[in-house]
Structure 1
Amino acid sequence: MGIQAGDENKPATLRLALFLMFVTTAFAGLGICAFSLGDAGVRHAVETTPPQAVGVTVAGVINAANFATYDRVVREQTAVTFGGAPVEVTTLLRSDGYAMPGQEKVRFRRPERLRFDSFDGFQRHARLISGSWPRSRTEPVEAAISQAAASNSGLEAGNAFTTIGRIDGEPVQVKITGVFVPNDPLGPRWDGDLMFGRGVERNGYSTYGPLMVDQATFLDHFATTVNATWTVTPDLRGMTVGHMREAVARLGDLRERFKANGCPVCTSLSALPATLARLEAASSSARWTVLGLAAVLALTLLLLPRPKGANWSPGTAAVVAGCVIAAPFAARLPLSPASAVPWWPASGLRPPAAFDTGALLAAISMALLAAVLLLVEVPRPGIRVLSAAIAAAVAVAALGAAGTWRTSRADQAAHQAGADLRLTGPPAGGTPGVLGRGTAFAALPGVTAAVPGHRDRIEVDLRNSTLLGIDATRLPEVFRLRPDLSDRTVTQIAAAMATGRPKIGAMPLPGAPRTLTVEVKAPADPPQLRVVISDAIGVWHDMPVAPLRSGVTKVDVDLAGLAGRDGKIAYPLSVRGFLGDSIDDFPHALTVTTLRADGREVSLPTDQRWSEHAESGAGLFSLKVKAAATAVRPVPAGTAEDRPLPIVLTPELAASAKLTTGRTGFIALGRQRVQVELVGIVERMPGIPLDQAGALVDLPSLQAWNLAAARPPLPATDWWLAADANRVRAAVAASGWDVTVIDPLGLAAPPPGLLPEALGLALVTALGLLLASATMGRRRERRGLG
């Protein structure tokens, strides 16, 4: 309405100003969102994307003489690639094998080995549990060892020894100064390095490590001809999308530039091109969604009746101009409270502190469009009803879209968690102890089920995949599988896996023993012997029976210490078998004569026998070890040794193996060819990233198959919980345990590129409701907006 003389027109003018202000503010907010979904949105998304999604990995082979040159070339050329933007470069160096102490002269059989690593700033990614971090260039060489490697190798803080390089034969004097636990042994920083989490790698050789040393120490003693990996993480804050595209283009010739500048063996790999393309595509789609909704609202405004008597007088023009100019700044006000939304900090997006030219122009343009459309006269019957209907439809559509989007994010987060909650921690060491975690986690407030699981990155038929192992009989309690992802329910899958499980032998230990005494008769230079124990929850763990000497030796194996702080062992315990390993080509026979649990003698159940590598004689069994690791385990009578392993696969792995549900065939798990029975196909496997292939197996079946192949038991890397997430989250935070919570709430935080779209949809909803209310209320007004 125009501004006319007379007090009676002031309320109408005020209503016009307020209505214009509301409408133009909403449209200005849509303009800001639409602009932020362009290059600005992509920049925000890139800034908060995980480093591995934007960085560059460079691999090469170095020695002490050429490392400085190669390192300089990598740093210079990657800096050129990112146009001078700051980059963080970390270097990982891995040694060849070094002989275990006492095995320096072994030549007939592949001996046990040690591996030494150097990683820039390693101390920031691990925690000492004993001793101190190694110093640089000391004599003897100072090294820190992972807790898992210490447990497997028998090394500990304070040990000093001489080791011999298996390639160059040079001796190195070493002192272990500390034992550490990595913060995230299965994280992307250590991707592809199974030794880092397990502490041992058994592929012909048994290699323990890594033992971490300073870089200068590594170059002085271990840089023969070894693998080096540079991880280059750029700081892309402030870089325009155009400059990012230029960086992607320069990545294409990075290898040639390495070669031309003095590093002919350096190769590079980066996820930045795919990341940028994905974010730009998502940004474009979201931007057009917001603009499309704005267009529908513009139509609604066009259909609204013109305010009665609203002539284009100077007063009206002043109201319009004031609203248009103020609207962009008023639109920022709803964004500020958004910082209180729980998932805002995870998004990386902040309320704008100031407008740049593009965002300001976009907001003013949208606000001007709204004001003009509102004042256009369209004298047409029934216009109020039509405009109200469109406004209501837009509001409903916006609410539906926002609700669907949020539900989709929640579904994806629940799928990636795979359970109500998952707890992860070091596979060995840490708090609670390896056999104390089950009772500690089950006792947390709000927990109704706590099931151990094993997770591993592995090649399945030459495809990088994630292998999950969970007890099939407890799978329905914790495993969250959306019905549309498989033609079988979780209960059906669990039943099929449990039916395919082989009979697994065990020697139960009576009572609640704290010590297991193993009496062994051994020859001179006896082989190594380890006992495999399991608890009532299904966690398997192996412990050394040492030291062994020629003749009869009684070794006490500490069981109580496996509970650790805050944990209690889940009794009863069972002996699952023994692992023997020799370091030469000559046969070594030893006999386990007696087994006692807290002094009470233990015998094999009458319905079980020892596996084929055991020989009858005096005592429980005799074991002959030659040239390779050997396992002896209890086996129920009549059990088939070659039963297929029941398995669930994602479609690409099933197709690669040419398997359908119910069929038996062979697949390659890592370096092992395994006969499997496919009991189900899952479109996307819960508990792993959406874009990864996955395999799910019954953990007891996997442990039995693994032990039969004379490999150590698989650790419980994940604990799958059915629980009240809020109560568990708070209890774990207060516990001080070495545990990370995998929580659907955190995973549900929207990616930064989509957050402005959510805000835009919220503004659209508010505007639609406002227009509907204003239009339907005009009939009750006696003057003013008509």
Structure 2
Amino acid sequence: MAGFGGLTAFVLLRARAHRLLLAAALLTVLLTTVVLATLTAYSGAVGDAALRHALADARTGADAALVVKADVPAGQRPAADATVRKGAARTFDGLPLTVRTLVRSGPYALPLSLRPPTERSGDPDLTFFAALDPTRVRVEEGRMPLAGAADGPVEVAVPVAAAERVGVGTDDRLTLTDRLDGPAVRVVVSGLYRPVDTGSPYWRLDDLAGRGVKRGGFTTYGPLLAPPGVLSGGRVSAGSSGWLVRADYASLTTGRTRALGEAARGGTAWLREQPVLSGTTAATTELPAILDRLDRSLVVSRSTLLVIASQLVLLAGGALLLVARLLSVERAGELRLLRARGASRARLAAGSALEALLLAVPALVCAPLLAGPLIRWSAGQGALSRTGLGREVAAGGSGTV
């Protein structure tokens, strides 16, 4: 211990004699270490923020959503819903989820009397009932349909686009013929509605995409918005059920993208194999392809930072070599004197190692402490201040960047 104390005192005295050169070396090591730590953390912070912003984009977020469609009998819909939620949890690898549903009936024929007299021959126009998410629609006229008596007419709301084409309005009464040979259904129009946003991914569950009218082999109008009990109570024929599942990516980091992509592929495959979903399940999401594209973009951006970091290391290395050369010239006579007085090579090497630690330890301690504030400051400047990166770093702290 006494020997180590003497060696430490000797190193400190020698450092004092060459304090200007050693201060330059310390400053070089400190600044290089701080900047490298900041670049590393900055790359992670920007990558995570870019990933979350990309997935929060309306178009990308819609493509990343999980869409499940299946023909499910009314009695099996609770079990099917539980299965879809379980599969969605697997697909999104445990991220928080929002699930929206659209349950529809089979096809019904509109009365031919709604057509002009010259067009009443041939196949009738079609429609169908659906239990829609009430947050996805707004009533333009009248009111939302209510559950009525079991033997009374079914209250429905009609899309404005469909109502204008066929000429129906509130309080009109119609009789719809089941195209699957079930009993006819009497309906009364309680109101007219529009989708809040036809660009919402929710309308991917609707065969008419929220437009109210679709022309093909048949002209289809709808869906007729009905109370959920009508679809589950057996008053109308059973049709397909749809689920739209969207994840909250606020906690997602770039380190989880590979696992999330694999989970998405496995989860959709698992859903398609579930017998409760009738074996004809369509379960789709573009999340794996989106994550692959984002990963490639992140690799390109990180390679740019790697080039900058490499240039910085080369410059710092050159500066340290210059300082080492100057020190060796200054200490050449000192080393000859120490060797003449019996200092061993091991002792001289230990002194040099201790002196190197005096340069490295402050840099290792200060770099992580300074990296966080530097990132938060730089994230608040220029274009980055408009992305919200500074708020994310401040909330997550330097340990999460």
TM-score, normalised with respect to structure 1? 0.39
Instruction: Report if the CA contact (8 A) 2:264-2:287 is conserved.
Output: yes
Q: Which has the higher strand share?
A: 1
Q: Which amino acid aligns with 1:211?
A: L
Paired residue secondary structure (1:51): helix
Report % sequence identity: 24
* Mapping of residues 670-709 of structure 1, within 5 Å: none
Cα 1:317–1:98 shift into 2, 3 Å: closer
Q: Are residues 1:302 and 2:317 paired?
A: yes
Q: Are residues 1:132 and 2:143 paired?
A: yes
Cα 1:279–1:222 shift into 2, 3 Å: farther
CA distance in 1, matches of 2:282, 2:24: 67
Instruction: Report if the CA contact (8 A) 2:141-2:191 is conserved.
Output: yes
CA distance in 2, matches of 1:126, 1:332: 43
CA distance in 1, matches of 2:137, 2:36: 50
Q: Are residues 1:248 and 2:261 paired?
A: no
Counterpart selection for 1:33 from 42, 46, 57: 42
Paired residue secondary structure (1:250): helix
1:65 shift after superposition: 3.4
* Mapping of residues 7-22 of structure 1, within 5 Å: none
Q: Which amino acid aligns with 1:161?
A: L
* Mapping of residues 37-186 of structure 1, within 5 Å: 40=48, 44=52, 48=56, 50-101=60-111, 103=113, 109-119=122-132, 121=133, 123-136=134-147, 139-186=152-199
Paired residue secondary structure (2:181): coil
Counterpart selection for 1:275 from 285, 290, 312: 290
Runs of 4+ in 1 over 6 A off after TM superposition: 12-20, 307-311
1:289 shift after superposition: 2.4
Paired residue secondary structure (2:145): coil
Paired residue secondary structure (1:334): helix
Q: Are residues 1:210 and 2:223 paired?
A: yes
Instruction: Report if the CA contact (8 A) 1:164-1:170 is conserved.
Output: yes
CA distance in 1, matches of 2:261, 2:215: 44
Cα 1:256–1:213 shift into 2, 3 Å: closer
Cα 1:343–1:32 shift into 2, 3 Å: same
Instruction: Report if the CA contact (8 A) 1:134-1:178 is conserved.
Output: yes
CA distance in 2, matches of 1:108, 1:136: 34
Instruction: Report if the CA contact (8 A) 1:338-1:344 is conserved.
Output: no
Aligned length: 349
Instruction: Report if the CA contact (8 A) 2:90-2:264 is conserved.
Output: no
State the partner residue of 2:393: 351
Cα 1:107–1:334 shift into 2, 3 Å: same
Paired residue secondary structure (2:309): helix
CA distance in 1, matches of 2:98, 2:225: 21
CA distance in 2, matches of 1:352, 1:155: 56
Q: Are residues 1:329 and 2:372 paired?
A: yes
1:111 shift after superposition: 2.3
Instruction: Report if the CA contact (8 A) 2:153-2:187 is conserved.
Output: yes
1:295 shift after superposition: 0.6
Q: Which amino acid aligns with 2:143?
A: S
1:294 shift after superposition: 0.9
Cα-Cα RMSD: 4.1
Cα 1:167–1:71 shift into 2, 3 Å: same
Higher alpha-carbon Rg: 2
Q: Which amino acid aligns with 2:109?
A: A
1:272 shift after superposition: 1.9
1:191 shift after superposition: 4.0
Instruction: Report if the CA contact (8 A) 1:117-1:210 is conserved.
Output: yes
Instruction: Report if the CA contact (8 A) 2:139-2:192 is conserved.
Output: yes
Paired residue secondary structure (1:351): helix
CA distance in 2, matches of 1:340, 1:83: 33
CA distance in 2, matches of 1:203, 1:249: 33
Q: Which amino acid aligns with 2:172?
A: N
Q: Which has the higher helix share?
A: 2
Higher RCO structure (Cα 8 Å, ≥6 apart): 2
1:180 shift after superposition: 2.2
1:159 shift after superposition: 2.6
Cα 1:191–1:47 shift into 2, 3 Å: closer
State the partner residue of 2:302: 287
Instruction: Report if the CA contact (8 A) 1:97-1:207 is conserved.
Output: no
Cα 1:292–1:201 shift into 2, 3 Å: same
Instruction: Report if the CA contact (8 A) 2:272-2:281 is conserved.
Output: no
Instruction: Report if the CA contact (8 A) 1:58-1:231 is conserved.
Output: yes
1:41 shift after superposition: 6.1
Cα 1:145–1:354 shift into 2, 3 Å: same
Paired residue secondary structure (1:253): helix
Cα 1:293–1:19 shift into 2, 3 Å: closer
CA distance in 1, matches of 2:211, 2:285: 27
Instruction: Report if the CA contact (8 A) 1:37-1:283 is conserved.
Output: no
Instruction: Report if the CA contact (8 A) 2:104-2:128 is conserved.
Output: yes
1:16 shift after superposition: 7.8
1:222 shift after superposition: 6.0
1:229 shift after superposition: 2.0
Cα 1:325–1:191 shift into 2, 3 Å: closer
Instruction: Report if the CA contact (8 A) 2:372-2:398 is conserved.
Output: no
Cα 1:199–1:124 shift into 2, 3 Å: same
Instruction: Report if the CA contact (8 A) 2:112-2:124 is conserved.
Output: no
Q: Which runs of 5+ in 1 are unaligned?
A: 360-786
